Chains A and B, each alone.
Chain A
Amino acid sequence: MSTKVVIKKNTYFDSVSLMSISTKANQLDHVEQAFVAMATEMNKGVLRNLGLLTPELEEAKNGDLMIVIKGPSDEANEEILVGIEELFNKKNQGGGSHEAKYATINSAKTHIKESNLAIISVNGQFAAREARLALENDLNVMLFSDNVSIEDELALKKMASSKGLLMMGPDCGTAIINGTALCFGNSVRRGSIGIIGASGTGSQELSVRIHEFGAGVSQLIGTGGRDLSEKIGGIMMIDALKMLDADEDTKVIALISKPPAPAVAKKVLEQAEKCQKPVVVCFLGSQPLPEDKPGLTFAKNTKEAALKTVLLTGVKKEDLNLHSLNWPLIEEVRAQLAPEQKYIRGLFCGGTLCDEAMFAALEKYDDVYSNIQPNPEYRLKDINTSIAHTFLDFGDDDFTNGKPHPMIDPTNRIERLLQEARDPEVGVIMMDFVLGFGSHEDPVGVMIDAIKAAKNIAKQDGRELIILGYVLGTDQDTPAMDAQVKMLTDADVIWASSSTNTGLLGREFVWKGEKA
């Protein structure tokens, strides 16, 4: 083993550059240890303690840079030194692609004058301030953060509205602006349908169904879940309606949300009626469905909304595969389930996917519980214990407090899946798997062993446990849709073609009546 020391007189670099060069130097062939640092007395003291201080290093001054290489031989060390010098040269030349970091929004806007949108994801207590700064800098805002007060939200939306800017959020996880998906989003073809969504996965689902039905998306504008509350008054949705109505690339507009406050729904629908372009409205869970008006069409679920929207762009219904319910499959599953296996347990990452399945179940059953049940009587008191038909939104604050979103970290869902599998009254477990930007790189793969284990638990108890999966994504998404679905099929999981069908299939699988 040989040690080579090089002293560069009056040479200086910042510590991150030196650490980075050292890390790369240690990856060069034959290097035992290599490092670079300023030759201060204290640093030489550390080297002394490591037994690496040489007479040359003793001579180095505080303003000098020291390079220390431990390698197999003098010759090898010379080669390593050449490699390290190249690293220094590259550092000096700079260039190449890089990610610029700015301390403040003001600074970013100063450096990138043409920027027009800020995505803000900071702790909720600081988020409003950052959003305000962005708006003051004439930036549209996508505010991913939650825990922003409703008063702040109102003030921000009023400010954005007065400046003609988008204020998407707070708690806005999905948008596609000029073809670019922001935060969570799917790869969908560009087209003439503009989506305005107050629900993240609802918007994603609508966009992928539109893609599947052969049409495309011009813009997907998220509003944040509270936009249609009484207090906010739908400011963002109304502004977005006006923007898309004026957008040349948008020919049809689709709205998706949970049921808004009645007064807000009225305002939004009045604005929708004023639009020059047809508007399809899907307020999930609304009962009964309002009657269509000229230019205004209502849809009960995401699939119907996508279909009605796509038909308005000129696509022919007869050209589409509508994936009607597979009744032979339903009969087959019913035959496999024991009489006591009468309940559904829905374990969802996507809030709207959970909603849609829950609303489908509610059409047929009364005892439907959830952590996001609109009826407080049926809202779970203890989210760790399921009752009858239970639908869980693992993305809700109940589960994410201090933990990553289930689209990124599946731990919560895996544990719950195994727990539900032990319940002899469970017939069907529903699960969604969301592909696309921002999501887990292999959402099915990360769950598949747990799925197999869950089915095995039931099997050992002499039960057939039906797992009904839904993969939200397109043929353009990463990871590949086909491979994800194949994993499910190989694990004996039944998979649905849409969020809507997931809800319908699940409720029919466990139906114990004579006829569906």
Chain B
Amino acid sequence: MNNTTSHRQTLYVLTADRHFLNLLNQPQLSGKIEQVFSKAINVFIGNQLFTLLSSQLDNAPNSCRLLNKNLALLNINSSDNFQILNGKVSIGDCYWLSFSLCTVWQQSVINFINDKVNKKNYQSFLLKQINEVDFILSEAKSSLFNYQGDNLFYLASAEKLNQLRSDLICLIKKKQRKNLADVIRQFVGLGIGLTPSGDDYLVGLMAFLLLKGNPVAVLYHDFYQGIIQGNEKTTAISAITLKKALDHEYRENMCQLIQSLVDANEINIHSQILNILNIGSSSGSDMLFGIRDALYLTHYFGERYVD
């Protein structure tokens, strides 16, 4: 490998999370470019997936944000080498990464204050947000949850998704742990695209529902089991996102929304919901379905013991 940097174009890293920066501590690592999108490039290094993001996107776990806006314009293709040698990162034959502008993105820890859920005003807040998300989702035609076409396979997938969603809500409401992990497992990998709708739904659901202090967080182990059992059955990028979700690690936009939901802070919540909606092609709307159900379940458990 030619790892000299003189003939290479510099790609500046704006922000990176600690997982990504930890890579630089390795004396030598090599990986491959997996997928190239206009706003994200996925890289497999070792057994892990990392992502180079466009400056237009928010921060995310295992990622760094580049100064560039459109990554598809770069001469980077699937299967290109991604090499780390003595703290220097080179991509294919054309680029190297400079961290001279880079700052660390650190995700804040979000905790749910348990007795809040019983308060009437928080209950009202949750209801309002459920209605808001329902309204937005009623227009989310790209989501498989809302599929109304005539394609047999998509119809069957949509039916399965909605059935699983209904089963899951029912089991959680009854806190019936017997089949819970199995139902969660069945979500994993169910959907059409690179991050299947079932996975995105679970990511959204867990982001709020499994917060420490949420009445449903006691079911964490069942979620863990279900996802670990299903993890080999979905796409690699989706598998890593689900694992990160189990570790309470989410992209920055999701963290901001969850923080507002926990704090019942309505100031920016509409735009934060829209930021989620606009993730990927349909991932955002699928995640919102998950968040919506998390809000509903939290409201349900709170309502039973409302002050």
Whether a CB of chain B sits under 8 angstroms from the CB of A271 is no
Q: How far is the CB of B44 from chain A (nearest CB, A)?
A: 10
Q: How far is the CB of B17 from chain A (nearest CB, A)?
A: 22
On chain B, the residues within 8 Å of A46 by CB distance are 153, 156-157, 160, 190
Q: Are B280 and A104 in touch, CB under 8 angstroms?
A: no
Q: Are A22 and B152 in touch, CB under 8 angstroms?
A: no
On chain B, the residues within 8 Å of A14 by CB distance are 193-194, 280-283
**Of the candidates B35, B186, B189, which one forms a contact with A62 in the assembled complex, judged by CB atoms under 8 Å apart?**
B189
Give the complex CA separation of A33 and B154 in angstroms: 11
Which residue from chain A places its CB closest to the CB of B200 in the assembled complex?
A15
Whether a CB of chain B sits under 8 angstroms from the CB of A103 is yes
Q: Are A50 and B156 in touch, CB under 8 angstroms?
A: yes
Whether a CB of chain A sits under 8 angstroms from the CB of B234 is yes
Which candidate, A35-43, A318-326, A353-361, A435-443, is the interface stretch facing chain B?
A35-43
On chain B, the residues within 8 Å of A40 by CB distance are 189-191, 196, 233-235
On chain A, the residues within 8 Å of B166 by CB distance are none
On chain B, the residues within 8 Å of A35 by CB distance are 151-154
**With A13-B194, A15-B282 as contacts: A22 and B151 at CB distance below 8 Å:** yes
Q: Are A37 and B274 in touch, CB under 8 angstroms?
A: no
Q: Are B152 and A16 in touch, CB under 8 angstroms?
A: no
**Of the candidates A15, A23, A52, which one forms a contact with B149 in the assembled complex, judged by CB atoms under 8 Å apart?**
A23
On chain A, the residues within 8 Å of B233 by CB distance are 40-42, 62
Q: Are A38 and B194 in touch, CB under 8 angstroms?
A: yes
The A-contacting residues of B in range 59-102, CB under 8 angstroms, are: 78
Q: Are A42 and B152 in touch, CB under 8 angstroms?
A: no
The B-contacting residues of A in range 47-77, CB under 8 angstroms, are: 47, 49-50, 52, 62-63, 68
Q: Are B152 and A19 in touch, CB under 8 angstroms?
A: no
Give the complex CA separation of A43 and B192 in angstroms: 8
Which residue from chain B places its CB closest to the CB of A47 in the assembled complex?
B153
Q: How far is the CB of B77 from chain A (nearest CB, A)?
A: 12
Q: Are A33 and B152 in touch, CB under 8 angstroms?
A: yes
Interface flags for B143-177 (1: CB within 8 Å of A; 0: not) read 01001011111101100100000000000000000
**Of the candidates A52, A62, A110, which one forms a contact with B235 in the assembled complex, judged by CB atoms under 8 Å apart?**
A62
The A-contacting residues of B in range 194-250, CB under 8 angstroms, are: 194, 196-198, 230, 232-236
Q: Are A15 and B281 in touch, CB under 8 angstroms?
A: yes
Q: Are A43 and B142 in touch, CB under 8 angstroms?
A: no
Whether a CB of chain A sits under 8 angstroms from the CB of B107 is no
Q: Are A16 and B281 in touch, CB under 8 angstroms?
A: yes
On chain B, the residues within 8 Å of A23 by CB distance are 149, 151
Q: Are A63 and B156 in touch, CB under 8 angstroms?
A: no
**Of the candidates A12, A42, A49, A107, which one forms a contact with B190 in the assembled complex, judged by CB atoms under 8 Å apart?**
A42
**Chain B: interface size category:** 35 or more
Give the complex CA separation of A110 and B57 in angstroms: 13
The A-contacting residues of B in range 278-307, CB under 8 angstroms, are: 278, 280-283
Whether a CB of chain B sits under 8 angstroms from the CB of A327 is no
Whether a CB of chain B sits under 8 angstroms from the CB of A126 is yes
On chain A, the residues within 8 Å of B274 by CB distance are 103-104
Whether a CB of chain B sits under 8 angstroms from the CB of A147 is no
**With A42-B233, A104-B274, A107-B56 as contacts: A13 and B193 at CB distance below 8 Å:** yes
Give the complex CA separation of A257 and B42 in angstroms: 58
Whether a CB of chain A sits under 8 angstroms from the CB of B133 is no
**Of the candidates A41, A43, A50, A62, which one forms a contact with B152 in the assembled complex, judged by CB atoms under 8 Å apart?**
A50
**With A12-B35, A42-B233 as contacts: A17 and B153 at CB distance below 8 Å:** no
Interface flags for B132-148 (1: CB within 8 Å of A; 0: not) read 00000000001010010
Give the complex CA separation of A193 and B216 in angstroms: 65
**With A19-B154, A26-B151, A43-B157 as contacts: A63 and B235 at CB distance below 8 Å:** yes
Interface flags for A278-321 (1: CB within 8 Å of B; 0: not) read 00000000000000000000000000000000000000000000
**Chain A: interface size category:** 35 or more
On chain A, the residues within 8 Å of B270 by CB distance are 126, 129
Q: How far is the CB of A457 from chain B (nearest CB, A)?
A: 38
Q: Are B191 and A15 in touch, CB under 8 angstroms?
A: yes
On chain A, the residues within 8 Å of B30 by CB distance are none
On chain B, the residues within 8 Å of A126 by CB distance are 270
On chain A, the residues within 8 Å of B192 by CB distance are 15, 18-19, 36-38, 43
Whether a CB of chain A sits under 8 angstroms from the CB of B271 is yes
Whether a CB of chain B sits under 8 angstroms from the CB of A10 is yes
On chain A, the residues within 8 Å of B188 by CB distance are 42
Give the complex CA separation of A14 and B196 in angstroms: 9
Which of A22, A41, A107, A126 has the most chain B CB atoms closer than 10 A to its own CB?
Answer: A41
**Of the candidates A15, A62, A68, which one forms a contact with B234 in the assembled complex, judged by CB atoms under 8 Å apart?**
A62
On chain A, the residues within 8 Å of B198 by CB distance are 42
On chain A, the residues within 8 Å of B187 by CB distance are 42
Which residue from chain A places its CB closest to the CB of B38 in the assembled complex?
A94
Q: Are B193 and A16 in touch, CB under 8 angstroms?
A: yes
Whether a CB of chain A sits under 8 angstroms from the CB of B118 is no
**With A62-B189, A103-B275 as contacts: A15 and B142 at CB distance below 8 Å:** yes
On chain B, the residues within 8 Å of A41 by CB distance are 189, 233-234
Q: Are A37 and B153 in touch, CB under 8 angstroms?
A: yes
Q: Are A17 and B236 in touch, CB under 8 angstroms?
A: no
Which residue from chain B places its CB closest to the CB of A10 in the assembled complex?
B78
Q: Are A16 and B282 in touch, CB under 8 angstroms?
A: yes
On chain A, the residues within 8 Å of B151 by CB distance are 19, 22-23, 26, 33, 35
Give the complex CA separation of A26 and B150 in angstroms: 10
The B-contacting residues of A in range 1-19, CB under 8 angstroms, are: 10, 12-19
Q: Are A18 and B193 in touch, CB under 8 angstroms?
A: yes
On chain A, the residues within 8 Å of B277 by CB distance are 103
Q: How far is the CB of A269 from chain B (nearest CB, A)?
A: 40
Q: Are A43 and B196 in touch, CB under 8 angstroms?
A: yes
**With A23-B149, A37-B153, A101-B278 as contacts: A12 and B235 at CB distance below 8 Å:** yes
Give the complex CA separation of A17 and B194 in angstroms: 11
On chain B, the residues within 8 Å of A62 by CB distance are 189, 232-236
Q: Are A15 and B190 in touch, CB under 8 angstroms?
A: no
Which of A35, A40, A41 has the most chain B CB atoms closer than 10 A to its own CB?
Answer: A40
Q: Are B153 and A52 in touch, CB under 8 angstroms?
A: yes
Q: How far is the CB of A344 from chain B (nearest CB, A)?
A: 40
Q: How far is the CB of A134 from chain B (nearest CB, A)?
A: 13
Q: How far is the CB of B265 from chain A (nearest CB, A)?
A: 14
8 A-B pairs with CB atoms under 8 Å apart are A14-B282, A36-B192, A37-B193, A38-B191, A40-B190, A42-B187, A62-B233, A103-B275
Contacts A15-B282, A35-B151, A43-B190 aside, 18 further interface pairs with beta carbons under 8 A come to A14-B281, A15-B197, A16-B282, A19-B149, A19-B192, A26-B151, A35-B153, A35-B154, A38-B235, A40-B190, A40-B234, A41-B189, A41-B233, A42-B187, A43-B157, A62-B234, A103-B275, A110-B56
